[in-house]
Amino acid sequence: MANIIAGVASSHVPAIGAAIDNKRTEEPYWKRVFSGFERSKQWMATTKPDVAIVVYNDHASAFSVELIPTFALGCAAEFPPADEGWGPRPVPVVKGHPALASHIAQSVILDEFDLTIVNKMEVDHGLTVPLNLLFGSPREWPCRVIPLAVNVVMYPPPTGHRCYMLGRAIRKAVESYPEDLKVVMFGTGGMSHQISGPRAGLINSKFDKAFLDNLSKDPAKLTRIPHLEYMREAGAEGIEMVMWLIMRGALDAKVEEVYRFYTVPASNTAVGHIILENRGRTAGKRAGARKGGGERRRQAAARRGGERIASKARR
């Protein structure tokens, strides 16, 4: 059976990609950013996942305003890097996992998440920058990648709660896949930043740090943050952080925080990064399952209450 063993969150600032591509990573400004990912690369090299499901957003590369899917799952065998106006990034072609991806689609659509299926798509910095940060710059990416593109460009993006629940549905789908696969889930984007309008340049470290704390310890609390609060507190584009909740929803209620890094700025953005491992993996299966079961039941009950409220308020 396939298993989600860990979740990784990371900003996907385009300038980080440019710094890699232009070999500027040793400059003091960029070294401050990249040094924060050294331990993460070691962790990834030891963890050796078979598949990474990468939740990200497209930035007017694969999707213009002609088509704005809320959740688009990449089921193709390959995803070439997109030309974002300066030629495609010199990174390897992303190899997909069509069999697992289509299995996920089948499962989560029946669980009432109406995904868009994408069989041909180019991927931009939103997906490739986090891969660089965690895998470095190899000739080939060391694992298969399933892209999950989320609309966070046009308001409204999906709610944090919806994202979290999609993460849970994805986990259920992965765990019903027969092949033994180690899967790591990526949530990308954020943290606080605003790059548009007279308020551009906004950073809110206090909000970011509380978000990281809760992502680790109390994700349910994060699912209640309304969009208005993200935009007000973390900047109009900071709302990207809802994508981290898809990753978090795919993990246990209780996780082990393995590593965290935060720095300001990279270009116009606060950079946040966290690695969370599913505890069941280290604490032993039975204890994990027993604990997890009760916790899951309790949460499911709370969620049912929450959903009723949400569906009333949102019609």
Partner 1 sequence: MPRTPQDYDDIPGTFVFDAERSREGYGINMFCMSLMKEANRKAFKADEPEYLKRFPLTAEQREAILERDYNRMLELGGNIYFTAKLGATDGHSFQHLAAVMTGATQEDYAKMMLAGGRSVEGNRSKSGRDKPKAKTRSKARSRRG
Interacting residue with partner 1 among 175, 233, 256, 257 (CB under 8 A)? 233
Q: How far is the CB of 169 from partner 1 (least distance, A)?
A: 21
Q: Diameter of the chain by CA atoms?
A: 54
Answer yes or no: 125 catalytic: yes
Backbone angles phi, psi at 237, to 5 degrees: -90, -10
Alpha-carbon torsion, ordered 243, 244, 250, 256, to 10 deg: 180
Distance CA 11, CA 233 (A): 17
CA distances from 226 to 56, 237, 302, 310 (A): 20, 14, 18, 11
Interacting residue with partner 1 among 228, 286, 304, 305 (CB under 8 A)? 228
The one segment of 42-50, 114-122, 152-160, 280-288 that binds partner 1 by CB under 8 A: 152-160
12, 103, 125, 273: the active-site residue: 125
Residue 1 found at the interface with partner 1 (CB under 8 A): no
**Per-residue mark of binding to partner 1, 197-216 (x: CB under 8 A):** xxxxxxxxx-x---------
Tell which positions 85-104 bind partner 1, by CB under 8 A. 85-86
Interacting residue with partner 1 among 41, 59, 95, 182 (CB under 8 A)? 59
Q: How far is the CB of 151 from partner 1 (least distance, A)?
A: 11
Interacting residue with partner 1 among 23, 28, 46, 64 (CB under 8 A)? 64
Strand-pairing partners, residue 116, are 72
Q: Which of 173, 150, 108 is nearest to 244 (CA)?
A: 150
Strand-pairing partners, residue 7, are 185, 276
Q: How far is the CB of 42 from partner 1 (least distance, A)?
A: 29
Answer yes or no: 193 catalytic: yes
12, 103, 193, 273: the active-site residue: 193
The one segment of 69-77, 99-107, 266-274, 282-290 that binds partner 1 by CB under 8 A: 266-274
> Binding-site residue total for partner 1 (CB under 8 A)?
50
Question: How does DSSP assign 30-54, residue by residue?
Answer: HHHHHGGGHHHHHHHHHH--SEEEE
- Residue in the block written with tokens 């609390």: 221
Interacting residue with partner 1 among 1, 45, 68, 110 (CB under 8 A)? 68
CB 292 within 8 A of CB 252: yes
Residue 188 found at the interface with partner 1 (CB under 8 A): no
Q: How far is the CB of 223 from partner 1 (least distance, A)?
A: 9
Distance CA 211, CA 6 (A): 18
Interacting residue with partner 1 among 42, 155, 176, 179 (CB under 8 A)? 155
How many other CB atoms are found less than 10 A from the CB of residue 21? Answer: 17
Contacts made by residues 81-84, CB under 8 angstroms, sequence distance 24+: 81/122, 81/123, 81/124, 81/128, 82/122, 82/123, 82/124, 83/122, 84/14, 84/59, 84/124, 84/125
Residue 270 found at the interface with partner 1 (CB under 8 A): yes
How many other CB atoms are found less than 10 A from the CB of residue 90? Answer: 10
CA distances from 178 to 64, 100, 131, 143, 182 (A): 37, 10, 26, 18, 12
Residue 307 found at the interface with partner 1 (CB under 8 A): no
Q: How far is the CB of 253 from partner 1 (least distance, A)?
A: 20
Interacting residue with partner 1 among 69, 98, 265, 288 (CB under 8 A)? 265
Q: Which residues are catalytic?
A: 125, 193
| Residues at the site binding partner 1, with contacts judged by CB under 8 A | 14-15, 59-60, 64-66, 68, 83, 85-86, 153-156, 159, 192, 194-205, 207, 224-229, 231-233, 236-237, 264-265, 267-268, 270, 309-310, 313-314
